[in-house]
Amino acid sequence: MRAEPTHAFNFLLCGFISICANALHAQDYPVKPLRVIVPFAPGGASDGLARLVGDKLSRKLGQTFVIENRGGAGGMLGSDLVAKAAPDGYLLLISGIASHVVAPAMSSAPFDPIRSFTHIALFGGPPSGLMVHPGVPARTVAEFIAYSKSLPAGLSYGSAGEGTHSQLISELFRLRTGANLVHIPYKGTGPAVADVVAGHLPAMFAGTSAIAQVRAGKTRMLAVTKEKRLAEIPDVPTFAELGLRELTTTTWFGLSGPPAMPRDIVSRLNSEVRIALALPDMREKLDADGIEINNLDSDGFTAFVRSETERWGPIARAAGTGTNK
């Protein structure tokens, strides 16, 4: 008489079939267009990187990467949409320091920056620099600090807005140096840079997009937040050279997805992103913005997000800012 399969055997058989199905799914992925949520308005650094990388992945994987802007609440609205999505790899997110570090530190987030996501691949991001109008009587960081302390009402500085990385860098600079600074939030980097050029704003921490204004002599850069000097402005020192290594930082972005995504899909996307970032034409664009190649796998990117949360979360709370970008 033939023995009936045991419950344990049935359980193992079902598990084996499930594993095989997932492997086949990962091997065929992707079989339809992918949506990539940018949790901010069009035109920013996150949007630009998403479109650059998305175009390369579309060509390599044979499926369209549809970039969709879903701004609001410092990036938390779009991020929450992805956190609650099916983990099949067809709805992804451009994550970053604003949406996954600053905003959750400043208000009650509907997600956990680590557990609510699969962090797939780090794109990197541009460094910043302390930029002043030529009318500011300071040609070094030390002179800038001394000048700010000489003003009873303090020296005004601009940022891209309350709770942005540019404000947090400025706040860290103020806390570490004792500079007498007064925050003036703007609605984006562009208007703030324009006011520095026009002389309406004395100073700000600006991204590398402002280098053209520096090279044209319309502004002056005192130091940059990169580990090494920027090739475009080699005479400008790094903060690390000046003994302020804590100010070595970038406004980073990456590719993330819902929690519990299949590991094979995550590994493939991570590999394809790193290949795309290393292409010569991509390197030319990224080098111009001071963005360096990283070699992090998914686990490394997750550890990076955790370290950034530990680093900037307390500073964001101390600054008492909001979460608008």
Residues in contact with 79: Cβ distance below 8 Å, sequence separation at least 6, in sequence order: 37, 39, 93, 95, 99, 100, 111, 117
| Amino acid letter, 148 | S
Phi/psi of residue 236, nearest 5 degrees: -90, 125
List pLDDT tens digits, range 60-91.
999 999 999 998 887 889 999 999 999 999 99
155 is written with which tokens? 């020296």
Task: Kindly report, residue by residue over 26-57, the tens digit of the pLDDT.
Answer: 568 999 999 999 998 787 788 889 999 999 99
Residue range 254-280: mean pLDDT, rounded: 97
Q: Domains plus CATH for the chain? A: 9-125+252-319 (3.40.190.150), 128-247 (3.40.190.10)
Amino acid 7: pLDDT: 53
**Mean pLDDT, to the nearest integer, of 129-143?**
97
Angle of CA points 67, 68, 70, to nearest 5°: 145
pLDDT for position 285: 87
Which of 159, 165, 207 shows the shortest CA–CA distance to 187? Answer: 159
Question: How large is the average pLDDT for residues 286-315?
Answer: 90
**Which residues, in sequence order, are CB contacts of 243 under 8 Å at separation 6+?**
none
Residue 227 has pLDDT above 80, yes or no: yes
The strand ranges marked E within the chain are 34-38, 65-69, 91-96, 118-124, 128-132, 155-159, 181-185, 203-207, 220-224, 253-257
pLDDT at residue 325 in the model: 37
Answer yes or no: is pLDDT of 297 > 90. Answer: yes
pLDDT of 20 over the 90 cut: no
Look at residue 11 and tell me whether its pLDDT is greater than 80: no
